[in-house]
Amino acid sequence: MVMTLEFAVLFMAMLAVVQRRTGLVERALWWPLPRAAVGLWLSVAVVSALQFIVIGWYDALARDPDQILHHGQIWRLLTAMFVQDGWAAGTTLNLIVLALAAVPAARYFGALAMWLVFLGGGIGFNLLGALFDSSGAGNSGATMGMVCALVGHTAVASLVRRGSVAPPVIALSILPLLVGAAAWAFFDYHGEAEVLGWLIGAALGALAPTRFPKARALTVRG
């Protein structure tokens, strides 16, 4: 329930940023579906589905702090994003959340950067989880991080390009940091992913302030 409320707040901020920066609204934002978003969703969905079919699949791929830190199984930092510790209910929720987030992210970042942001945030989230001795799995951390990365990029890129940030962008960019920090403070590990994702986006904004968004309508508001 908490994660759902977190995502709802962050998703609305993400949509507002994407619509403001790309000029894409309503149908133009969602259709046709970007192939990169479909590919990301299918990758997570197919690998997650195998945990219901293949015995031991989940245990082999999930985040296990002992196996990661003491037995060299660092691949779990990556594979834990592609199985789900919530099983049927968790898989359904995480795939819905990913479907909603991946389309705007693909419009904004393009295929390669979207994948890099998703994987980078997810690996960072799983590493922090392992260091804090938290076992589990799921794509929710990577998805939340991707949402916050988009907002973080917008804020810093605007500052680099113009030397200032419009008040609506300031409000939208601060929101994910506040949500993430509050979640982290109350021991919701998704807060780590949200703060980490924002920082990844901010770094991209400083390094590549004009590279994104990839998709633009004819009329764009900053």
Name the more confident of 216 and 203.
Answer: 203
Task: Work out the mean pLDDT of the chain and round it to a whole number.
Answer: 85
Tell me the pLDDT tens digit for each residue of 147-177.
989 988 888 888 887 776 667 767 777 777 7
Alpha carbon 166 to chain centroid distance? 24
For CA atoms 40, 78, 121, 139, give the dihedral sign: positive
Alpha-carbon 207 to chain mean position: 19
| Residue 218: predicted pLDDT | 38
Q: Which pLDDT tens digit goes with each residue over 24-76? A: 777 778 888 999 999 999 999 999 999 999 999 999 999 999 999 999 999 99
Q: Can you give the pLDDT at residue 61?
A: 97
Q: Is the pLDDT of residue 142 over 90?
A: yes
With 70 as the cut, is the pLDDT of residue 219 above it? no
Euclidean distance between CA atoms 159 and 155, whole angstroms: 6
pLDDT tens digit sequence for 12-24: 778 877 877 777 7
* DSSP codes of every residue in 174-211: HHHHHHHHHHHHTT-THHHHHHHHHHHHHHHHHH-TTT
List of domains in the chain: 2-24+33-207 (1.20.1540.10)
Rounded Cα gap, residues 79 and 214, in angstroms: 28
Please answer whether residues 217 and 24 qualify as being in contact, where contact means their C-beta atoms are separated by less than 8 angstroms: yes
Greater confidence, 127 or 155? 127
- What is the value of pTM for the model shown? 0.89
Q: Is pLDDT of 1 > 70?
A: no
Q: How far is CA 193 from CA 5, 76, 98, 146, 220, in A?
A: 15, 17, 14, 9, 30
DSSP calls for 40-51: HHHHHHHHHHGG
